Amino acid sequence: MTTRFRVTIEYDGRTFVGWQRQTTGASVQGAIEAAIHRLTGEAVAVHGAGRTDAGVHADAMVAHFDLDRPMTPFRLTEAINAALRPLPVAILDCVVAPGFHARFDCTGRSYRYVIVNRRASLTWQAGLAWRVPAALDADAMHAAAQRLVGRHDFTTFRSAHCQSRSPVKTLDSIAVRREGQTVIIETAARSFLHHQVRSMTGCLKLVGQGRWSADDLAAALAARDRTALGLNAPPDGLTFCRAFYPDMSAGFTPA
């Protein structure tokens, strides 16, 4: 009898080519699938709530897979985590979830981008944040970011390799705040285009430096043209935070 499991996953994206399995390079999806195969001998497909690029991290990526071998969620979690070591991937939670689909049942996703605003080089945060030496006005960034909220054609902020059928998305929220030398950008939407968060972040950095105004950001959005993009931020500071589901108790367990 096949059992469907829902898992919540944390990972450091620095050593991976991204979430999605690829023909070259190690992926998070591939690492988990390989770990399950070593444990059970079964070739399973792990389906995630979203996809992250090379160098992008996750606090709580939600995924599901089907397994023929009978195992309790606790035993399965312990076994997969043991098989994954020393890779920087961990199963935080595992439950039996009949009929659950990590991607199609997901009603929202949130991301966090971390900028360290200082002249000194990064040490332990290298690869986990974007260092911006020039002073940033986080309040100006937050005010300008509100021009992006709502339903828009986000072509300007869309990668040329994006596979989404439409560039029209609804950005539910975006907030920018400063905590000491750290500037944090948090955003949520039902779904995002490829590179959308990184592209919005790059343009907000220009606003923070005073090189762009809020009107410039709005004009870039209205242009619906990738060539109007001011800057695409690196993946280092980006983290997939959480996935939302109609029944949150069945769709997400906080890390």
Question: Could you give the count of Cα atoms lying within 13 Å of 26 in the half-sphere of its Cβ?
Answer: 16
Catalytic: 53?
yes
The catalytic position among 12, 53, 105, 236 is 53
Residue 127: which of 176, 88, 85 has the closest Cα? 88
By the 10 Å C-beta count (0-12 exposed, 13-18 middle, 19+ buried), 54 is classed as middle
Collapsing DSSP to helix, strand or coil, 5 comes out as: strand
Residue 152 gets the label, from left (phi > 0), alpha (psi -120 to 50) or beta, of beta
Provide the 8-state DSSP code for 195: T
Q: What is the distance between the alpha carbons of residues 244 and 250, in angstroms, rounded to a whole number?
A: 10
Q: What is the distance between the alpha carbons of residues 255 and 195, in angstroms, rounded to a whole number?
A: 25
Q: What is the distance between the alpha carbons of residues 170 and 143, in angstroms, rounded to a whole number?
A: 18
Q: Is-contact 71 41, C-beta < 8 A? A: no
Q: Is-contact 183 136, C-beta < 8 A? A: yes
Alpha-carbon torsion, ordered 92, 97, 102, 106, to 10 deg:
-100
What are the beta bridge partners of residue 239? Answer: 57, 112
Active site residues: 53
